[in-house]
């Protein structure tokens, strides 16, 4: 499979890298929630909670917000004004989608030292074809490229943005349970997947964790597990209750992290976040995780769940991001959609 990456593409991608999330953003892409099937039986509180996140984000950077139609945009503007958003920092765009998780289907940008910026359009198949139609989501990178005039390159591999995290210096975090799952790229070996990541994202050091958190329908996205917080530091979630389903897989991931090295062969600094107590809705375990934070210009937006562990998680992240404002958002309703803040955002690097 690696031979199928044409030499011309390898030359085209030379010098490009995926910036770390903490590097400056020009804007953040988001998609207004509109699909009640994503939050079955609990959609009503979602738009207001979403509006609170957009309102706070708009104080730090431009938010490019996608809507299914003009009526949805008008309703959202009312909620955003009520939430105190800086409306002048919110761009209202009509681009119909199937769902709101733009982290996974939006464009992933790579940049070059000379200032060049390129959008990558990876294939999207609804997390292994778990849900209904996904054609509108899969088309979003191309639609945005047409609207904003940036170059967009199609990549012949299924990849969701929530399945990878980078330090911007050559290292990438991901999970075996997701990227090596046959429901994404059947027939591709681990070495072949790694080669696509190296060529298109400009990374040389690929760090593999095992399984994801309980309740995660993405087969184990890294953005619920472990995140780079600077070039040398990873923060990962741990479960302290030995009886919990997350205890063993998260302990294994922690052991792997402590044995890992960065792109220069040096040990990584590993910090930990608690998992909230097990949360359920209608008998389903929810993938509630403090690792699903979003690093914005000057701020870190963190999901909270009304638990005693919220305070500890926020304090840890405030220590790890001393130059950013760390802000918690109640996400117990949002997480019934099986994702929170990071899943709902996608950065557009400056």
Which residues does the annotation mark as catalytic?
343
Give the span between the Cα atoms of 320 and 308, in whole angstroms. Answer: 20
Give the span between the Cα atoms of 59 and 158, in whole angstroms. Answer: 34
Residue 267 DSSP one-character state? B
Contact of 277 with 220, CB cutoff 8 Å: no
Which helix (H) or strand (E) segment holds residue 292: the answer is none
CA angle 124, 125, 126 (to 5 degrees): 105
Contact of 158 with 185, CB cutoff 8 Å: yes
Give the span between the Cα atoms of 213 and 289, in whole angstroms. Answer: 8
Nearest Cα neighbor of 67 from 91, 38, 42, 46 is 91
Q: Which residue has the tokens 């959008």?
A: 119
Q: Which residue has the tokens 């958003």?
A: 85
> Which residues touch 340 (CB under 8 Å, ≥6 apart)?
288, 289, 292, 303, 331, 334
Contact of 214 with 182, CB cutoff 8 Å: no
Q: Which residue has the tokens 């980078």?
A: 166
Tokens of 118: 């390129």
Nearest Cα neighbor of 18 from 208, 200, 195, 224 is 200
Tokens of 101: 């998780």
Q: Which residue has the tokens 């639609």?
A: 143
**What residues does 294 pair with on adjacent strands?**
301
71 backbone dihedrals φ, ψ, rounded to 5°: -65, -40
CA angle 292, 62, 311 (to 5 degrees): 30
């Amino acid at each position: 499979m690696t031979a199928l990456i044409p030499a011309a593409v390898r030359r085209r991608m030379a010098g490009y890298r995926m910036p770390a999330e903490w590097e400056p953003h020009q804007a953040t892409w988001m998609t207004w929630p509109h699909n009640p099937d994503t939050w079955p039986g609990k959609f009503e509180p979602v738009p207001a909670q979403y509006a609170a996140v957009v309102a706070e984000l708009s104080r730090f950077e431009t938010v490019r917000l996608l809507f299914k139609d003009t009526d949805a945009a008008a309703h959202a503007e009312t909620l955003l004004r009520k939430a105190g958003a800086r409306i002048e920092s919110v761009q209202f765009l009509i681009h119909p989608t199937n769902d709101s998780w733009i982290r996974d289907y939006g464009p992933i940008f790579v940049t070059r030292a000379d200032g060049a910026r390129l959008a990558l359009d990876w294939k999207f198949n609804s997390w292994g074809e778990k849900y209904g139609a996904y054609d509108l989501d899969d088309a979003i990178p191309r639609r945005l490229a047409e609207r904003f005039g940036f170059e967009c390159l199609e990549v012949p591999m299924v990849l969701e943005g929530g399945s990878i995290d980078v330090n911007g210096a050559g290292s990438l975090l991901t999970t075996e349970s997701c990227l090596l799952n046959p429901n994404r790229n059947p027939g591709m070996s681990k070495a072949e997947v790694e080669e696509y990541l190296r060529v298109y994202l400009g990374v040389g050091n690929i760090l593999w964790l095992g399984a994801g958190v309980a309740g995660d329908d993405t087969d184990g996205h890294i953005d619920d597990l472990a995140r780079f917080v600077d070039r040398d530091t990873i923060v990962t979630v741990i479960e302290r209750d030995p009886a919990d389903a997350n205890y063993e897989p998260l302990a294994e991931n922690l052991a792997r992290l402590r044995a890992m090295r960065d792109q220069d062969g040096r040990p990584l600094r590993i910090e930990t976040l608690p998992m909230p107590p097990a949360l359920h809705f209608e008998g389903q375990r929810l993938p509630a995780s403090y690792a699903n934070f979003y690093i914005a210009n000057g701020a870190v937006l963190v999901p909270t769940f009304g638990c005693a562990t919220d305070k500890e998680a926020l304090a840890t992240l405030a220590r790890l991001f001393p130059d950013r404002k760390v802000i918690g958002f109640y996400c117990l309703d949002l997480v019934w959609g099986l994702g929170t803040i990071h899943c709902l955002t996608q950065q557009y690097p400056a």
